[in-house]
Amino acid sequence: MAMTLSDLLAPVTPERFFAEFHDKQPLHVRGGAAKFAAVLGWRGINRLLDMTHIWSAHSLRLLMDGEPIPGEAYCTRAVGRDGTQVLQPEAHKLRDWIARGASIAMNDVDSLTPGLSSVSGALEDAGLGKVQANIYVSFRSHKAFPVHFDTHDVWALQVEGEKTWNIWSGRAEWPIAHPAFRNLGQAHHDRARGTLREQITLRTGDLLYLPRGWYHDALAEADASVHVTYGANAPLGMDFLNVLLERAVQDPAFRQPLPRQDGTPAAQFALTSRAATLGSKLSDYCRDPKVLEVLARLVANHRYPRPTIDVLAARGLAAPEEAAPAAEEGGFRVVAPGARPVRRGAEWVLRTGSGTLPLSPIEAEAAGWVLNRRDVDAAVLQTAHPAVDAAALLRRLAEAGLLAAA
């Protein structure tokens, strides 16, 4: 699946976003339950968690009311598939902690599924920098993190449930991933957050954008809540310093020893004179067309490589005809949970946004069962209601806007 920045921001236009919000102020965009249905849902989360061999205590973290849970409490020491020792999560320990209300953080997931990757690509295609994503699963009244800021722009997509965010007035001045900003301590954050600017409840399909350094915290308002945070790391002035360093390596003046210091005024003068000379050279580099060309390429290509591999095409073979996306991905998400079949004489109908959907009695019973769930696929529906054409009914419900492909 493909996605663009326009898709993410709709109905806000990218032009308005860059003019009014980007690196300036937070933005909350309301969506519908179907907006991010193909990005992630409970079925996808369970599938990812089932892949126990890809997770470690570093990539899959548990937190309880703002405090990290030690990896030893939910992992076991195992030999990974590369032969190295690793702390690997154990399913029964995860279930126990989740039952107690622990939040789950699944790190570096931006390319694990087509849905997750589509958002990463949309942000990077818009020139917003290198994008990394984490999944956060939390439960009512249990907070994963205290008030804090991030060292990247935050794009939070609410994919399940609800979560209330406190957006504070304080903003750190363009922090970076450096100990000078990472080791400030919670007491500093509690002071620097400022006053409460606004409180926003994200519902399924909503998006929240926060500029880098903006103070925030969040708390689940539903029995269970899931959001995916995409961190966009734009190229910085610090990256330009690396370009200048590579240029300076080619200049003998930067490879020479600095004047030896013996405490005399002459030695001090020699050192300050050399510093002025080197500074002047750096200033010249900043106007060098070749250096600026390298800088332009750095900014334009500041993204993670996300290649696609088509095995059959690489062999010059025609790919087989693919199944419909819904069947391929495994099912649908219910996006109209309040809908219910009603009887009209001898017939049954479902009210939809565009009218009514006629149903046979067995379809009405099956549709009521479907709409009382979070998600469903044809195999599960067929098992529960063997007399109905499961695939056809799901397709009709989706065309009526009651389901979205997951």
Q: List pLDDT tens digits, range 206-251.
A: 999 999 999 999 988 778 899 999 999 999 999 999 999 999 999 9
C-alpha separations of 202 from 159, 162, 165, 192, 228 in Å: 9, 6, 8, 24, 12
Residue 350, pLDDT > 60, answer yes
**Residues contacting residue 187 through CB under 8 Å, at least 6 positions apart:** none
Q: Across the strands, what pairs with 202?
A: 163
Share of the chain above pLDDT 70, in %: 96
Tokens encoding 138: 């939390």
Is residue 321 very low, low, confident or very high in pLDDT (cuts 50, 70, 90)?
low
Least confident of 5-14, 99-108, 338-347: 338-347
Biggest alpha carbon–alpha carbon distance for the chain: 106
Give me the mean pLDDT over the 382-391 stretch.
88
Using one digit for the tens of pLDDT, what is the confidence trace for 78-103? Answer: 877 677 888 999 999 999 999 999 99
What angle is formed at CA 33 by the lines to CA 30 and CA 35, rounded to 5 degrees? 70
Q: Give the pLDDT of residue 187.
A: 94
Identity of the residue numbered 7 = D
According to DSSP, residue 287 is labeled T
Q: Which helix (H) or strand (E) holds 314?
A: helix 311-314
Is residue 330 very low, low, confident or very high in pLDDT (cuts 50, 70, 90)?
low
Rounded to whole angstroms, how far apart are CA atoms 206 and 228?
Answer: 11
Q: Across the strands, what pairs with 168?
A: 196
Residue 307, pLDDT > 90, answer no
Instruction: State whether the Cα torsion 90-93-95-98 is positive or negative.
Output: negative
Least confident of 44-58, 145-159, 165-179: 44-58
Rounded to whole angstroms, how far apart are CA atoms 402 and 334?
Answer: 6
Residue 65, pLDDT > 90, answer no
Q: Which of 232, 228, 185 is nearest to 206 (CA)?
A: 228
Which range has highest mean pLDDT (4-18, 36-50, 383-397)? Answer: 4-18
Q: Give the pLDDT of residue 322.
A: 53
Find the distance separating the first CA and the last CA of the chain, reported in whole Å: 11
Residue 6, pLDDT > 50, answer yes
Residue 390, judged by CB atoms within 10 A of its CB (0-12, 13-18, 19+), counts as buried
According to DSSP, residue 98 is labeled H
Is residue 328 very low, low, confident or very high in pLDDT (cuts 50, 70, 90)?
very low
| CB-based contact 249:241 (threshold 8 Å) | no
Least confident of 74-78, 100-104, 127-131, 143-147: 143-147
Q: Give the pLDDT of residue 319.
A: 64
Residue 218, judged by CB atoms within 10 A of its CB (0-12, 13-18, 19+), counts as buried
| CB-based contact 121:2 (threshold 8 Å) | yes
Q: Give the pLDDT of residue 329.
A: 47
Q: Give the pLDDT of residue 326.
A: 40
